[in-house]
């Protein structure tokens, strides 16, 4: 990698900057040449910074058309594969430039900006997110900068059996399929709704092992081995008391949040935490109703809890 950084100077490079640069290069199996105004330096992941001389700097300027403020990724032959231009490459922005150029290379496109953003090596509190296996599988001393095959497995489907509403339903799906999408798109059970797909609205509430949970944040593969109940299976033939109460008290309007409300309420009553009005309101706050049926939802839950439905 070649970085034209007019204002870059070794004395100004902090330990943490060099550490970060080395870490990045190590992950790629690459080396970096920094071309300043008059001098050039080479940085390899496990070596000291080496000055290449003013002549080398002049030649690099000449070879690459007097570029300023660009980070280039070169192949073995020195041909420019990718170029990242940014306003000013200096100590604070050099790593960003490398990062962006790296992403450009890995996504095989010349660009300034990736929609996906940098897929970086992050060691984060046990959730070790890995870039691409290319970075990890390569030995750090391997000088070959060519991108390797994608490390994430090609979509592989696995056999999953979901116990839904009392019936075992076999599926062949990718592990990334959520329980919500398994129900709606593959098991023809669209009663459970997708309101946000991010665990922020409660519309997707189902029961797993009798407990109310969000199916959008549950992987279908991880929901195996436990009984799952959806709104379609709550009544088991007749209407559940909560369903009856919702009708009688008009605890719904558009009805989209309703399956989630009912599943949540039914489980809440079983949890025995639906005692006072304020407690019910609080415990049902994980189910958003934009139509504002809350007062009637409260009334319906009290009626259903008390054994009455009307």
Partner 1 sequence: MKSVGTPIDRIDAQKKVTGTATYAADTDVTKVAHAVIVTSAIGKGTIAGIELANARKSPGVLAVLSHLDAPRVFAGKKGGGPGERILQLLQSDVIEYADQPIAVVVADTLERAQHAASSIAVRYATEATVASIEQALGSAFTSKAIVHGESDSNRGNVATGLGAAKFKIEATYTTPNENHNPMEPHATIAVWHGDELTVYDATQGIFGVRNRMAEVFGIPKAKVRVIDQFVGGGFGCKGTPWSHVALAAMAAKVVNRPVKLVVTRPQMFSLVGHRPHTIQNIALGCDAEGKLTAIRHDVINETSRFDEFVEPSALQTRMLYASPNASTSHKVVKIDAPTPTFMRAPGESSGTFAIESAMDELAYAAKIDPLELRMRNYAVTDPQMAKPFSSKSLDKCYRAAADKFGWAKRKPQPRSMRDGHELIGYGMATATYPANQQPASAKATAKPDGTFLIQAGTQDLGTGTYTVMTQLAADALEVPIDKVRFELGDSALPEAPVSGGSMTVGSVGPAVVEACTQLKAKLAATTDRSKDIVAEVKTVLKDRDLYSFHSFGADFVEVRVDEDLGIVRVARVVAAFAAGKILNPKTANSQFVGGIVWGIGMALEEETVRDRRSGRIVTRDLADYHVPVNADIPAIEVIQIPEQDDHVNAIGTKGIGEIGITGVAAAIANAVFHATGKRIRDLPIRLDKLLG
Partner 2 sequence: MNPFSYVRPTTEQDALAALAEPGSVALAGGTTLVDLMRLEVMRPGKVVDLNGLPLAKIETGASSIKLGALATNTDVAYHPDVVAKLPALADAIRAGASGQIRNMASVSGNLLQRTRCTYFRDNVSPCNKRAPGTGCAALEGFTRMHAVVGTSRDCIAAHPSDMCVALAALDAIVHLKSRAGERTVKLVEFHTVPDDHPNVESVLQPGELVTAIEVPTTPLAAKSRYVKVRDRASYAFALASAAVALDVQGGSIKDARVALGGVGTKPWREPAVETALVGKPATPETFTAAAQLALAKADPRPDNAFKVELARRVIARTLALVAGGAK
Choosing from 61, 191, 227, 302, the residue that interacts with partner 1 (CB under 8 A) is 191
* Binding-site partner at residue 95 among partner 1, partner 2, none, CB < 5 to 8 Å by type: partner 2
Choosing from 22, 24, 67, 184, the residue that interacts with partner 1 (CB under 8 A) is 184
310/308 Cα distance (integer angstroms): 6
101/81 Cα distance (integer angstroms): 10
Binding residues (CB under 8 A) for partner 2: these are 16, 20, 24, 95-96, 98-100, 115-120, 122-130, 133, 136, 151-156, 158, 174-176, 178, 197-199, 202, 205, 211-214, 216-219, 221-222, 264, 267-268, 271, 273, 281-288
Q: Should residue 147 be labelled a site residue for partner 1 when binding is judged by CB under 8 A?
A: no
* Binding-site partner at residue 119 among partner 1, partner 2, none, CB < 5 to 8 Å by type: partner 2
Beta strand 2-4 with 32-35 is parallel
| Cβ at position 249, least distance to partner 1 in Å | 9
Q: Should residue 304 be labelled a site residue for partner 1 when binding is judged by CB under 8 A?
A: no
Query: Near partner 1 by CB under 8 A, which window of 5-13, 19-27, 91-99, 195-203?
Result: 195-203
Do the Cβ atoms of 71 and 2 come closer than 8 Å? yes
| Cβ at position 44, least distance to partner 1 in Å | 29
Q: Should residue 129 be labelled a site residue for partner 1 when binding is judged by CB under 8 A?
A: no
* Binding-site partner at residue 10 among partner 1, partner 2, none, CB < 5 to 8 Å by type: none
Q: Should residue 192 be labelled a site residue for partner 1 when binding is judged by CB under 8 A?
A: yes
**Residue 187 DSSP one-character state:** S
Helix/strand/coil for 295: helix
Q: Should residue 22 be labelled a site residue for partner 1 when binding is judged by CB under 8 A?
A: no
Q: Residues touching partner 1: how many (CB under 8 A)?
A: 71
Give every strand in the sheet of 70-74, ordered side by side: 50-51, 40-43, 32-35, 2-4, 70-74, 80-85
154/53 Cα distance (integer angstroms): 46
Among positions 199-258, residues that touch partner 1 (CB under 8 A) are: 200-201, 203, 230-232, 235, 239, 243, 246-248, 250, 252-258
CA of residue 125 relative to chain centroid, distance: 16
Residues 6+ apart with CB under 8 A from 287: 201, 202, 203, 205, 257, 260, 261, 264
- Nearer Cβ to partner 2, position 83 or 197? 197
Instruction: State which H helix or E strand residue 96 sits in.
Output: helix 94-106
Query: Near partner 1 by CB under 8 A, which window of 15-23, 24-32, 88-96, 110-118?
Result: 110-118
| Cβ at position 248, least distance to partner 1 in Å | 7
Q: For residue 128, what are its two tokens?
A: 């070790």
* Binding-site partner at residue 257 among partner 1, partner 2, none, CB < 5 to 8 Å by type: partner 1
Do the Cβ atoms of 35 and 94 come closer than 8 Å? no
Q: Which of 291, 275, 217 is nearest to 283 (CA)?
A: 275
Do the Cβ atoms of 203 and 195 come closer than 8 Å? yes
């Amino acid at each position: 990698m070649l970085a034209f950084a007019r204002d870059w100077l070794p004395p100004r490079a902090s330990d943490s900057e060099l550490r970060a640069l080395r870490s990045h290069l190590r992950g790629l199996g690459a080396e970096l040449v920094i071309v300043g105004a008059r001098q050039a330096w080479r940085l390899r992941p496990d070596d000291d910074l080496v000055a290449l001389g003013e002549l080398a700097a002049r030649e690099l300027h000449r070879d690459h058309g007097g570029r300023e403020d660009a980070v280039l990724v070169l192949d073995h032959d020195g041909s420019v594969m990718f170029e990242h231009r940014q306003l000013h490459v200096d100590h604070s922005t050099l790593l960003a430039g490398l990062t962006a150029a790296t992403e450009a290379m890995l996504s095989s496109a010349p660009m300034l900006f990736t929609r996906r953003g940098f897929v970086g090596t992050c060691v984060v509190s046990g959730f070790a997110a890995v870039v691409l296996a290319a970075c990890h599988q390569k030995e750090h001393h391997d000088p070959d900068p060519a991108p390797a095959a994608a490390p994430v497995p090609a979509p592989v489907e696995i056999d999953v059996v979901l116990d839904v509403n009392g019936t075992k339903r076999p599926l062949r799906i990718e592990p990334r399929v959520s329980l919500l999408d398994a129900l709606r798109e593959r098991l023809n059970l669209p009663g459970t709704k997708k309101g946000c797909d991010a665990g922020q609205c409660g519309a997707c509430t189902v029961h797993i092992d009798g407990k109310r949970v969000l199916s959008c944040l549950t992987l279908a593969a991880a929901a195996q081995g436990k009984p799952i109940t959806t709104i379609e299976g709550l009544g088991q033939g007749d209407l559940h008391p909560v369903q009856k109460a919702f009708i009688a008290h008009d605890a719904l309007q558009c009805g989209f949040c309703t399956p989630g409300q009912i599943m949540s309420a039914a489980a809440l009553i079983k949890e025995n935490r639906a005692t006072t009005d304020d407690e019910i309101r609080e415990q049902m706050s994980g189910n958003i109703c934009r139509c504002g049926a809350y007062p009637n939802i409260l009334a319906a839950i009290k009626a259903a809890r008390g054994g009455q439905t009307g």
